[in-house]
Every structure is written in structure tokens, then in C-alpha cells.
Structure 1
Amino acid sequence: MNILITGIAGFFGQNLSRVLIADGHTVYGIDDLSIGTAKWLPKEAIFFRHDMSKFFVIDYIFNAIKSLDLIIHTASRKIPRDGKTTQTLLENVEMMSNICILSKAYNARMIFFSTSDIYGQQMLHDEEGTSRIGHPSNPRWSYAITKMWCEQLLFASTLKFMILRIFGTYGQYQAINWTAGPHAVFIDQALRHEPYTIHGDGTQTRCFTYVDDMIDGIIKAIYSDYDREIINLGSPNEEITIQKLAMMVHSIINPGIKFETIKVDAIKGKNVNEDVMIRKPIIVKAKIMLDWEPKTSLLDGLKKTIEWQKTVVNA
């Protein structure tokens, strides 16, 4: 297949491109490098440095790529911890609008990377349930709102697609900041012997998935025949508080050294602590439709990730 990956220089793009190239596919990638880095891209990937939210990029891609069978849309602006709420709201919508134009023109199926954040403060994270996102005055929910808008746009279209609601994932090629999640920051802080930054009181719980397991699920979705479905991908196992996650990272990297934390607000310049208290996926559909569930333990996955992150810090 001829495959276009948006956000190819990011966490999922880096990992996915390697597997797809190894499977014999031609992989094109587009990324503005605002988060990712091109130096890690496999040499076989055909890379374009552009911002997918810009309308002129549509014509650029038409001129550069003759045919596409699949578009994997991983690119997005995340929860605006830096205060750039407008950028998140506008650019995620603009990117999706452009991707839909490309998908229709090429008659290419789309794999859309949505988010577990769509579930808001709900206790059950089931694809067939309703979503309850927070108050519009809270910028923390801007990312989730754009992902919901994108899902609505897909179902309003006649396109062939699958929506993957991705839960917390960690591993090689992740960003070394809050874009990737607390695990990346905690590992970096441990390697630098710094206190651990905890948003809120640290009692919120998460279930994390090692990236190799997640990529396996995504590949199964790509090769499946299902159409116009929403599927959760994530680990329902080893639910852990953010505080205990920091302690686990500390015990691996700095055993015997005093454990210290700093408590902060989650979003710069805002007294906002409306973090999701529980994030645990229901993956019944993934088990049935994709014959998938994660296998790597949190301890083993963290050890592998720490070894990779050491090479980045020491580079």
C-alpha cells in the first residue's frame, strides 16, 4: 500500500512507520516538527516538512503523491498546558478538514487517532456510551472537544475510516515532556536527580500501555476489514496512581535516594486542577474485532523505556 502518516516525526509516527516499511509498504510522512524530530525517521520514509493545518498543503500533496491507499492521521495539538488554547482548537479542526479532502480525493481509507480524553470525567470508558466533557471555560478540555468534532465529521462523511481512541502510551521515540505524559517527565526528572512534578494531589489513576503493544493493535486495525467503527486501544491492567508511577520510576532509576515531589497546577497560568481521576479502558471490542490485548507489564515496559530515554539524555 501507499500510506501517508501525518505527524510521522512524532511518537506514534516514528514507531508505526518502521513497522509498515518492514511490511513492504511505501510510507509518506508529513510533519511540521513542532514536537517531533526528523533525525529518528527511517531513511526509507518519504518525508515532507509542512503544517497539515494549512490549506495549501492539499495541493502540495496532490503534486507530490500520485496515489494513496491509506491515511493514518496521528498529528494533533495536545492539551494546551502552555496556554495556547486557540491553536489547539483551530489547528486540530483545520488538519482534519484537510485530511478528509485528501481521503475523498484519493479514495483512501483513514485511520484516525482520537483520544481517551473524549470520555471526560466518566467512570466507564466504553465506545458505545455517551461522552461528558467539562465546562467550555476550562481550556483543559479543548483537545477533547476537537477530537470529538473530528469524530463527528467522519461519521457525517461517506469516507471509509476507523477511529482509534488511544489511551496512555509510553516507550521509545516518545517526547521528553508533558506532551508524552507523566512517565516521560518522571523518567527525565529521575535521570537528572530532580524532584517529580505532580499535577494535583497525585491520586488520579491511569493504565499505561507499552508502545510495542499499542503498535500491534494499530497494525491489526489497519489490516482489518472493519469500517466506520470506534475502538478503544489501551491497557485495562495495572491501574496505578500518578504518585505511585513516579515512585516506581524512582525505584528503578534512583533506589535508595530520597523521593521528593513538587505539586503544581496542570495548565500554565490557570488555577485548574480538573484532572481526570480515573482513566481505564474497556477493550472488549478490540479483543473481539482485532484479537488484541496488551501483553507487556508496566515494570518491564518502563525498564525498556528508561534504557531508551537514557540514550536520548546522554546524546
Structure 2
Amino acid sequence: MKVLVTGGAGFIGRWVVKRLLEEGHDVWVLDNLANGKLENIAELTSRKNLKEFIYADIKDKQIIRDVFTNKYDICYHLAASINVQDSIDDPETTFANDVTGTFNVLEECRKHNTKMVFMSTCMVYDRAMIDTGIDETWRTKPASPYAGSKIAGENMVLSYYHTYELPTVVVRPFNTYGPFQKSSGEGGVVSIFIKKNLRGETLNIYGDGTQTRDLLYVEDCARFVIEAGYSDRVNGQIINAGLGRDISVNDLALLICNDNEKIRHVPHIHPQSEIPRLLCNYTKANNLLGWEPAVSLEEGIRTTTEWISKNDMDK
């Protein structure tokens, strides 16, 4: 197939691109490099079926029109503003990227009958303390402009399915981690903790550390995202993916550094957007796609630690 991946030079995007190439599809990558990096896809550029890297912004309607003259079968739409704190400090930029930008891409998908897989987030969910995990029917809560923008994007994408019968699907991966994730600033908690531990630095935990996360290894996430694009059964649906196991941030830090003396609790930078417990129920993905995670948390942390120690120690 002919496939467009917006945000394809980002953390999850590069793994989606890699797998699509391995499965034999012709792939175009669009990214403005606000979050992504060319180094993320450097090893993929020799693949003959990586047709083009397009340096462009999804807010530029004319460029998006031109890009869609290739008439793609699927658009994996991952381009977005992704940081919660950035959305609190500058909600306009997050709205422009995650809502207006999504609309621009969606309109071209409609014109060319291109299926859209829209990358959302588990951050749209309200707090839940249920042991069965959060499924897709759980209530949403826009606790940050980031979450609000993603909910708006989801609703627009699903409206095109109901109004125009455009094949669309909303995917909500839980906390994804692994090689190529940023390990500074508001990067992923796993990669930040690993890098600090390798450097012998203190691991800072926001709040009391009892908040839990369901941590999904990035290659499992990429496989989930791609398979949602392949299946007609999920069209018009919202689908979760996660490990189905949660761990407190305190226990995660201890798992990585194995030393309580290296752990410090600090005031939360955005407590209003904190979700006390994130535990994924991925039954729907299993039923409709046959998907389930293959990489355990311990295995994923080992692999990520090896990658960071070789590639990310000086950044």
C-alpha cells in the first residue's frame, strides 16, 4: 500500500515507519521536526520503499493538499503537540496543531478516501481506581489543554466516519516507552529515570509517587497502531492499547535504580492534570485485532537501558 505517516520522525512514528517498511509498503514521512528528529529515521533512509521525507507543517493547508496528490491508502496521523506542560503554558499552539492541523489532514483524507488512524492518548481519561482497568467506555476528562485538544481531534475524526463514511479509527495507547524516546525535559518517565540512573543522578518523582502508569513498549505500540490501519473491523471505533499491568512511579524508580537513597520526591509541576491510576483494559483490541502486548516491563526496561547507554548518554 501507499502510506503517509505524519509525525513519522518522532519517537513512536519512527517505529511505525520502520515496521511499515519491513512489511513492504511504500511510505512517505511528513514531519516539521518540532518533536521529531531526522536521526530517528536515519537508518531507514536507505530503504527503497521509503519514498520521501517531507519537511512540512500540518497547519499549512496548501502543502498538505500537495502531499495528498500521492493518493495514499492509509494515513497514520501522529503529528501533534504532545507535552502537557507546554499545552498549559501555550494552549493556542497545542490547539492549532492537534485540532486545526488534524482537520487539515482529515479533509484531504476525505477528498481522497484515505483511511485515517488518529493517534490519541490515555491522558483523555478521567481518574479510575478500578482493578479491571480503563476500557474505551470510561468517561473522559479534559484535565489539560493537551487532553482537551486530543478529545476534540477524536470527535472530529469520528464525525467524518459517521458523516462521510470515511474509514477512520482512534487509537489510545497508554504510556509508551522504549528506544528513541527523549530522556530530557518532559520526555518519558522510563527514559528519564534510566538516563539519570546511568549517570548516577537522583531520580526525581513528582508528588508522592503513588500514581501508577501502564507502560507499553514502543514496538508493541507500533504494531497496534499499524494493525488498526489494516482492519476494517475497527473503523469508527476507539481502541485502547496497554500492557494491562500498572506500576507506581515509586516502584518504577526502584525497579530502575534499585536504591531508595537515589529517589527524591519533588512538587508536581502540573498536579491538576495528574491521573492517579492508569491501568489499561485492552480487551477490545484483542477481540477486534487479535492484538496483545508481547514485551514485559522488565524486558522493555532492559532493552531501553541498553539503547540509552549506547546512544543517548551525551545528550
TM-score (norm 2): 0.89
Q: Which residue of 2 aligns with 1:229?
A: 237
Matched, 1:114 2:123: no
Structure 1 residue 131 and structure 2 residue 135: aligned? Answer: no
Task: Using the TM superposition, name which of 302-311 and 48-57 deviates more.
Answer: 48-57
Tell me what 2:77 maps to.
Answer: 73
Q: Does 1:285 align with 2:284?
A: yes
Moved more, 52-61 or 8-17: 52-61
How far apart are residue 142 of structure 1 and its match?
A: 0.8
What TM-score do you get using the length of structure 1 for normalisation?
A: 0.89
Post-superposition shift, 1:262?
A: 4.4
Question: Is the contact made by 1:2 and 1:26 (CA closer than 8 Å) also made in structure 2?
Answer: yes
**Unmatched runs of 5 consecutive residues or more in structure 2:** none
Structure 1 residue runs without a partner (length 5+): 135-140
Distance of 1:5 and 1:40 partners within structure 2: 14
Q: 2:256 corresponds to which residue? A: 249
Report the count of equivalent residues. Answer: 298
Shift in CA distance, 24/179, structure 1 to aligned 2, threshold 3 Å: farther
> AA paired with 2:127?
Q
* Runs of 4+ off more than 3 Å: none
Structure 2 CA distance, aligned partners of 1:179 and 1:119?
20
Change (3 A) 1:170 1:209: same
AA partner of residue 144 (structure 1): A
Matched, 1:296 2:290: no
1:275 — aligned with what?
Answer: 274
Q: CA deviation at 1:99?
A: 0.9
Matching of residues 94-113 of structure 1 within 5 Å: 94-113=100-119
CA contact (8 A) 2:74 2:116 kept: yes
Query: For the residues of structure 1 that align with 2:126 and 2:251, how far apart are their CA atoms?
Result: 22
Give me the whole-angstrom Cα distance separating, in 2, the residues matched to 1:258 and 1:200. 17
Structure 2 counterpart SS, 1:294: coil
Change in Cα spacing, 1:303 to 1:160, as seen in structure 2 (3 Å) is same
Write out aligned runs for 1:9-88 (5 A). Answer: 9-41=9-41, 42-43=44-45, 44=47, 45=50, 46-62=52-68, 65-82=69-86, 83-88=89-94
**1:258-269 matches, cutoff 5 A:** 258-267=261-270
How far apart are residue 53 of structure 1 and its match? 2.1
- What SS class does the counterpart of residue 107 from structure 2 fall into? helix
**Inter-partner Cα distance in structure 2 for 1:200 and 1:152:** 32
- Three-state SS of the structure 2 residue aligned to 1:232 is strand
What's the offset of the Cα at 1:149?
0.5
- Checking the alignment, whether the CA contact within 8 Å between 1:121 and 1:277 is kept in structure 2 is yes
- Taking the aligned partners of 1:293 and 1:179, their CA distance within structure 2 comes to 28
In structure 2, distance between residues paired with 1:180 and 1:24: 31
What is the CA distance between 1:173 and its match in structure 2? 1.6
Deviation at 1:314, TM superposition (A): 4.2
**Aligned-residue identity in percent:** 29
